[in-house]
């Protein structure tokens, strides 16, 4: 089985049943978006995939590797890189140091150097700001830095949690374009979003998650026209 | 297979030119690193020749203590400043080092030099015992546990027979190298030097200087970046592949070993140690040196340690008022330099760019378009250039 397969996963926080038999797939080379409102279980799904929470039932495999049994810090070595919600850049470190840190588990220093340059190529604004502390960047720049940092790790599967959060519409568009560009260069992307409009513009397929399980799924273009999605997420 | 390296056949890759002219990088002693190095070298030379200017036992003695404070502050800076672990019982490792070397040399008759590995092992063990369980928790717990641990070590030393109880260990021998002892003195160019105290001073200076170089190199390397990442955001660091637990315990043990070696020096310098030398007050003073100087900043921490150790000496003429004055000085310093005397992010006065371009503020709206020219010139950016020309409808 290639790509990411989440099969019948349950997650409990104490007595709260956060995910109920959640299943979805992300094929290699795709951008798949998980849509849902607050509390639907989007971030729990992300935390599950990145090893921060453990499933009580079900399996998660990435190209045949069982991700559920790996500690969070070893996922990177399997090409699974998580860009957490709220950007979470290292605020007292410079932009350049942040990017270098993305290559922490990459043994070849020249490869890290090359990928940092490529991140600068993709996002020139970061290059201009490379000596600046991460915390002094604007929201959009911080999001770009978080994506750039993940790219330096050499992801095959990029897990993006709410990259549009708190950004102006124009910046959201730029961030989405960067994600599309990264995907074009061969990275599989799982995009968890509340901003359905922006996510459906770049995604190939999408799933709608409600109260911990998938209620709708299909190609992004179809979902964008689906009256239920339009009503709930896009506004008439 | 790997995201961005699919473009690696295009060469050579380089980042686009900045859109605004950057000031020329400063070189030589006026650059950031050059200035710190120059200052460090000058300070080293000054401290090195100080005994030839004024070798009164008082001056040498307080300077040796100051150097030991500097060592301790450098070690604590790794733990608190870089890794962000609040350690309120740092003096415990100082005690472990002092007592281990004291016991090994007086009770078992080891030469002082052979006690060094013993001190290192004891501090690593102590670091694992205290750090092992607590570093899995967030730093509030660590602060409480280390506070307790510092007291446990002192009370243990106070009550055990092998540590000499409340009166401590006396008659700790001096250092000897290949049959030559510090107590023997030395003859250089026909002049006989017999200053045991002065020798300690030089040992402390050299060990301290080596520490400065090692710690600042560590901090700039991969491990230092990992420490700072863990300090800034533990979850994000974990997501980037850092084993945060191992990273934290490494910083903790490096700090512990460093304090242990400082403790050994202190023990031989004073020839006697007792539990009173390891009170909580000293943990607080060293933490103060780190915070006052600037967390995560090597020059800052050195200044902080010198301030904390020497200020009470300079204020001695005010007799019982001196600690009050010391406190006032600290408060004033923190008001005017809230992030430390020399913070890690300090910008040298002549490096401050006071000139601001008119269009400097309103570019936030479109960070990609501003660099368009740089992009198009660049061989490795066709994909991104496509984006700029507005590729729409992807994935529909």
A98, with CB counted inside 10 A (0-12, 13-18, 19+), is buried
Q: In chain B, which residues have their Cβ closer than 8 Å to the Cβ of A202?
A: 394-395
Report which listed range, B177-191, B206-220, B253-267, is most confident: B253-267
Q: Min CA distance, A151 vs chain B (Å)?
A: 7
pTM: 0.81
Mean pLDDT for B124-152 is 86
Note whether B238 contacts A73, CB cutoff 8 Å: yes
Is the pLDDT at B18 greater than 70? The verdict is no
Q: How far apart are CA B243 and CA B315, in angstroms?
A: 47
Residue of chain B whose alpha carbon sits nearest to that of A153: B240
Q: Min CA distance, A100 vs chain B (Å)?
A: 8
Is residue B340 within 8 A of residue B301, CB to CB? The reply is no
Residues B148 and B215 in one domain: yes
pLDDT band at B14 (very low <50, low <70, confident <90, very high): low
Query: Which phi and psi (to 5°) does residue B193 adopt?
Result: -105, 120
Percent with pLDDT over 70 in chain B: 77
DSSP annotation of B318 reads: G
Whole-angstrom Cα Rg for chain A = 17
The answer to whether residue B23 sits within a structural domain is: no
Q: How far apart are CA B171 and CA B105, in angstroms?
A: 9
Is the pLDDT at B3 greater than 50? The verdict is no
Note whether A75 contacts B370, CB cutoff 8 Å: no
Note whether A88 contacts B1, CB cutoff 8 Å: no
- Residue B325, Cα to own-chain centre: how many angstroms? 27
Q: How far apart are CA A155 and CA A108, in angstroms?
A: 15
Is residue A212 within 8 A of residue A22, CB to CB? The reply is yes
Strand A31-35 relative to strand A65-66, pairing? unpaired
pLDDT at B261: 93
Residues B379 and B256 in one domain: no
Note whether A117 contacts B15, CB cutoff 8 Å: yes
Neighbours of B338 (CB within 10 A): 8
Q: Give the count of alpha carbons within 13 A of B39, CB side only.
A: 15
Residue for token digits 């496509």?
A: B386
Q: In chain A, which residues have their Cβ closer than 8 Å to the Cβ of B80?
A: none
Q: Min CA distance, A40 vs chain B (Å)?
A: 22
Mean pLDDT for B102-129 is 90
Q: Min CA distance, B20 vs chain A (Å)?
A: 8
Note whether A182 contacts B8, CB cutoff 8 Å: no
Structural domain range at position B383: 361-396
What are the residue ranges in chain A where pLDDT is below 70? 1, 235-236
Q: How far apart are CA A160 and CA A165, in angstroms?
A: 11
Residues B327 and B366 in one domain: no
> Residue B250 sits in a domain of what CATH number?
1.10.3470
- Cα dist from A68 to A47, A173, A214, B243, whole Å: 11, 33, 20, 17
Q: What is the pLDDT of residues A208-220, one digit of tens each?
A: 888 888 888 889 8
pLDDT at B246: 92
Preceding omega of A142 cis (within 30 degrees of 0): no
Strand A31-35 relative to strand A188-193, pairing? parallel
By C-alpha distance, which of B18, B74, B239 is closest to A132?
B18
DSSP annotation of B320 reads: G
Residues B310 and B378 in one domain: no
The number of folded domains in chain A is 1
Residues B96 and B170 in one domain: yes
- Residue A212, Cα to own-chain centre: how many angstroms? 18
Is residue A46 within 8 A of residue A26, CB to CB? The reply is no
pLDDT at B181: 72
Per-residue b or e along A7-31, where b marks 16 or more CB atoms closer than 10 Å to that residue's CB? eebbbeeeeeebbbebebbbeeebb
The answer to whether residue B51 sits within a structural domain is: no
Residues B228 and B343 in one domain: yes
Note whether B233 contacts A89, CB cutoff 8 Å: yes
Reported as type and span, the H/E element at residue A215 is strand A213-219
Note whether B232 contacts A204, CB cutoff 8 Å: no
Instruction: Select from B239, B365, B391 the Cβ nearest to the Cβ of A72.
Output: B239
Question: Which of B2, B3, B12 to mutate to probe the A interface, most A CBs <10 Å?
Answer: B3
- Cα dist from B197 to A218, B174, B178, whole Å: 81, 10, 20
Is residue B270 within 8 A of residue B162, CB to CB? The reply is no
Which residues are A82's β-sheet partners?
A159
pLDDT band at B371 (very low <50, low <70, confident <90, very high): very low
Residues B215 and B326 in one domain: yes
Note whether B368 contacts A174, CB cutoff 8 Å: yes
Report which listed range, B3-17, B146-160, B366-380, is most confident: B146-160
pLDDT at B95: 94
* Angle, CA of B131, B138 and A139, to the nearest 5°: 135
Where is pLDDT greater, at B382 or A162? A162
- B360-364's contacts with Cβ under 8 Å and 24+ in sequence apart are B360/B20, B364/A138, B364/A140
Q: How far apart are CA B199 and CA B197, in angstroms?
A: 5
Q: Min CA distance, A213 vs chain B (Å)?
A: 24
Is residue A145 within 8 A of residue A95, CB to CB? The reply is yes
Residues 6+ apart with CB under 8 A from A76: A104, A105, A153, B239, B240, B241
Give one DSSP letter per residue of A87-118, joined into a string.
Answer: ----TTSBHHHHHHHHTTT---HHHHHHHHHH
Note whether B229 contacts A221, CB cutoff 8 Å: no
pLDDT at B119: 94
Residues B132 and B276 in one domain: yes
Note whether B240 contacts A151, CB cutoff 8 Å: no
By C-alpha distance, which of B83, B96, B99, B70 is closest to B149?
B96
pLDDT at B352: 67
Note whether A174 contacts B238, CB cutoff 8 Å: no
Is residue B66 within 8 A of residue B306, CB to CB? The reply is yes
The answer to whether residue B36 sits within a structural domain is: no
Average per-residue pLDDT in chain B? 78
pLDDT at B369: 44
Note whether A128 contacts B18, CB cutoff 8 Å: yes
Residue of chain A whose alpha carbon sits nearest to that of B377: A121
Which residues are A17's β-sheet partners?
A12
Per-residue b or e along B194-217, where b marks 16 or more CB atoms closer than 10 Å to that residue's CB? ebbebbbbbbbbebbbebbeebbe
pLDDT at B127: 93
pLDDT at B70: 92
Q: What is the pLDDT of residues B307-364, one digit of tens each?
A: 888 888 887 777 777 778 878 888 888 888 888 888 877 777 776 665 555 444 444 4
Q: How far apart are CA A115 and CA B3, in angstroms?
A: 9
Q: Min CA distance, B72 vs chain A (Å)?
A: 24
Is the pLDDT at B13 greater than 60? The verdict is no
Q: Min CA distance, A206 vs chain B (Å)?
A: 11
Is the pLDDT at B377 greater than 60? The verdict is no
Is the pLDDT at B294 greater than 90? The verdict is no
By C-alpha distance, which of B71, B64, B32 is closest to B289?
B71
Instruction: Select from B16, B232, B367 the Cβ nearest to the Cβ of A141.
Output: B367
Is the pLDDT at B182 greater than 80? The verdict is no
Note whether B3 contacts A88, CB cutoff 8 Å: no
Tokens of residue B371, six digits: 């660099």
pLDDT at B373: 41
Per-residue b or e along B142-177, where b marks 16 or more CB atoms closer than 10 Å to that residue's CB? bbebbbebbbebbeebbeeeebbeeebbeebbbbee
Q: In chain A, which residues have their Cβ closer than 8 Å to the Cβ of B19?
A: 124, 128
Angle between helices B139-159 and B280-293 (to 10 degrees): 140
Is residue B256 within 8 A of residue B126, CB to CB? The reply is yes
Structural domain range at position A171: 4-234
> Residue A164 sits in a domain of what CATH number?
3.40.50.300
- Cα dist from B144 to A208, B85, B88, B132, B292, whole Å: 46, 11, 8, 15, 22
Q: How far apart are CA A44 and CA A85, in angstroms?
A: 11
Is residue A59 within 8 A of residue A53, CB to CB? The reply is no
- Residue A168, Cα to own-chain centre: how many angstroms? 19
Q: In chain A, which residues have their Cβ closer than 8 Å to the Cβ of B15?
A: 117, 120-121, 124, 127
Is the pLDDT at B245 greater than 50? The verdict is yes
Q: How far apart are CA B134 and CA B131, in angstroms?
A: 5
Which residues are A22's β-sheet partners?
A9
Mean pLDDT for B245-267 is 92
Q: How far apart are CA B169 and CA B150, in angstroms?
A: 19
Question: Which of A122, A131, A219 to mutate to probe the B interface, most B CBs <10 Å?
Answer: A122
């Amino acid at each position: 089985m290639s790509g990411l397969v989440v099969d019948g996963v349950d997650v409990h926080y104490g007595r709260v049943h956060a995910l109920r038999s959640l299943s979805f797939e992300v094929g290699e080379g795709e951008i798949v978006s998980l849509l849902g409102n607050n509390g639907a279980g989007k971030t729990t799904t992300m935390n599950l995939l990145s090893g921060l929470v453990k499933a009580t039932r079900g399996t998660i495999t990435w190209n045949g590797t069982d991700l559920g049994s790996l500690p969070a810090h070893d996922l990177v070595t399997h090409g699974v890189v998580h860009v957490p919600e709220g950007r979470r850049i290292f605020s007292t470190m410079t932009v350049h140091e942040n990017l270098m840190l993305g290559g922490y588990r990459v043994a070849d220093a020249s490869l890290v150097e090359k990928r940092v340059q490529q991140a600068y190529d993709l996002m020139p604004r970061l290059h201009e700001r490379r000596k600046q502390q991460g915390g002094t960047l604007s929201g959009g720049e911080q999001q770009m830095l978080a994506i750039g940092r993940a790219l330096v790790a050499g992801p095959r599967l990029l897990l993006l949690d709410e990259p549009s959060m708190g950004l102006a519409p124009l910046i959201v568009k730029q961030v989405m374009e960067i994600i599309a560009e990264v995907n074009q260069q061969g990275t599989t992307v799982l995009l968890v979003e509340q901003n359905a409009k922006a996510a459906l513009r770049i995604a190939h397929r999408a799933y709608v998650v409600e109260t911990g399980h998938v209620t709708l799924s299909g190609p992004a273009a179809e979902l964008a026209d689906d009256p239920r999605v339009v009503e709930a997420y896009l506004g008439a | 297979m790997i995201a961005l390296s699919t473009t690696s056949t295009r060469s050579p890759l380089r980042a686009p030119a900045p859109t605004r002219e950057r000031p020329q990088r400063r070189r030589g002693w006026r650059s950031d690193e050059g200035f710190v190095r120059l200052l460090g070298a000058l300070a080293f030379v000054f401290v090195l020749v100080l005994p030839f200017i004024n070798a009164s036992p008082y001056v040498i003695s307080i300077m040796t203590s100051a150097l030991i404070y500097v060592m301790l502050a450098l070690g604590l800076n790794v733990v608190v400043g870089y890794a962000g672990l609040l350690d309120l019982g740092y003096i415990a490792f100082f005690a472990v080092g002092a007592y281990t070397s004291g016991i090994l040399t007086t009770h078992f008759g080891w030469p002082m030099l052979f006690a060094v590995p013993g001190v290192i092992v004891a501090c690593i063990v102590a670091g694992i015992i205290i750090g092992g369980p607590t570093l899995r928790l967030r730093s509030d717990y660590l602060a409480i546990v280390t506070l307790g641990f510092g007291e446990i070590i002192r009370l243990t030393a106070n009550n055990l027979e092998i540590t000499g109880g409340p009166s401590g260990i006396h008659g700790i021998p001096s250092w000897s190298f290949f049959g030559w002892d510090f107590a023997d003195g030395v003859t250089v160019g026909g002049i006989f030097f017999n200053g045991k105290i002065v020798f300690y001073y030089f040992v402390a200076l050299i060990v301290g200087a080596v520490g400065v170089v090692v710690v600042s190199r560590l901090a700039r390397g991969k491990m230092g970046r990992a420490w700072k990442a863990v300090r800034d955001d533990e979850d994000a660091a974990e997501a980037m592949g850092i084993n945060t637990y191992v990273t934290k315990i490494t910083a903790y043990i490096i700090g512990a070993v460093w304090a242990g070696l400082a403790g050994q020096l202190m023990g031989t310098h004073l020839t006697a140690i007792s539990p009173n030398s390891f009170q909580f007050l000293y943990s607080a003073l060293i933490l103060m040196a780190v915070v006052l100087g600037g967390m995560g900043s090597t020059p800052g921490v050195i200044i902080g340690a010198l301030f904390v150790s020497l200020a009470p000496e300079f204020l001695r003429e005010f007799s019982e008022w001196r600690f009050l004055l010391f406190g006032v000085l600290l408060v004033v310093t923190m008001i005017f330099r809230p992030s430390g005397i020399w913070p890690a992010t300090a910008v040298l006065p002549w490096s401050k760019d006071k000139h601001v371009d008119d269009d400097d503020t309103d570019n936030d709206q479109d960070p990609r378009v501003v660099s368009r020219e740089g992009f198009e010139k660049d061989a490795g950016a066709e994909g991104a250039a496509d984006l700029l020309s507005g590729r729409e409808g992807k994935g529909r």
